[in-house]
Amino acid sequence: NAGVMQNPRHLVRRRGQEARLRCSPMKGHSHVYWYRQLPEEGLKFMVYLQKENIIDESGMPKERFSAEFPKEGPSILRIQQVVRGDSAAYFCASSPRPGQPGEDTQYFGPGTRLTVL
Amino acid sequence: AQSVTQLDSQVPVFEEAPVELRCNYSSSVSVYLFWYVQYPNQGLQLLLKYLSGSTLVESINGFEAEFNKSQTSFHLRKPSVHISDTAEYFCAVSEPQAGANNLFFGTGTRLTVIP
Interface contact B42, partner A, CB < 8 A: yes
- Per-residue pLDDT at B74 exceeds 80: yes
Chain B interface mutation, best of A6, A10, A45, A49, highest count of B Cβ atoms under 10 Å:
A45
- Chain A residues 87-106 with CB within 8 Å of chain B: 91, 93, 95, 104-106
Please classify residue A14 by burial: count the beta carbons closer than 10 Å to its beta carbon, then call 0-12 exposed, 13-18 middle and 19+ buried. Answer: exposed
Distance from CA of A30 to the nearest CA of B (A): 14
Tell me phi and psi for residue A44, to 5 degrees.
-120, 130
Residue A103: pLDDT band with limits 50, 70, 90:
confident
Indicate the residue of B45, B94, B107 with minimum beta-carbon distance to A42: B107
How many other CB atoms sit within 10 Å of the CB of residue A100?
Answer: 12
- What confidence tier does A114 reach under pLDDT thresholds 50, 70, 90? very high
Cβ neighbours for A101, distance < 8 A, ≥ 6 positions apart:
none
Beta-ladder partners of A33: A48, A93
Tens digit of pLDDT for each residue in B95-112?
877 666 789 999 999 999
pLDDT in tens, A2-26: 689 999 999 999 999 999 999 999 9
Q: Is B105 within 8 Å of chain A by CB? A: yes
CB within 8 Å of B106: residues ≥ 6 apart: A42, B4, B5, B6, B23, B90, B91, B92
pLDDT of B84:
94
Higher-pLDDT residue of A97, B46 = B46
A48–B101 CB contact, under 8 Å = yes
What pLDDT does A31 receive? 92
Q: What does the alpha-carbon distance between residue B48 and residue B106 come to, in Å, rounded to a whole number? A: 15
CB contact under 8 A, B44 and A108: yes
CB contact under 8 A, A42 and B108: yes
Residue A35: list chain B partners with CB under 8 A.
103, 105
Contact between chains at A91 and B101 (C-beta distance less than 8 A): no
Give the model confidence (pLDDT) of A26-61 as tens digits: 988 989 999 999 887 789 999 999 999 999 999 999
pLDDT in tens, B23-58: 999 987 888 999 999 988 788 899 999 998 888 999
Is B5 in contact with B25 (CB distance < 8 Å)?
A: yes
Examine the pLDDT at A1 and tell me if it is beyond 60: no
Cβ of B101 and A31 within 8 Å? yes
Q: Mark yes or no for CB contact A42/B102 under 8 Å.
A: no
Task: Report CB contact under 8 Å: B90, A42.
Answer: yes
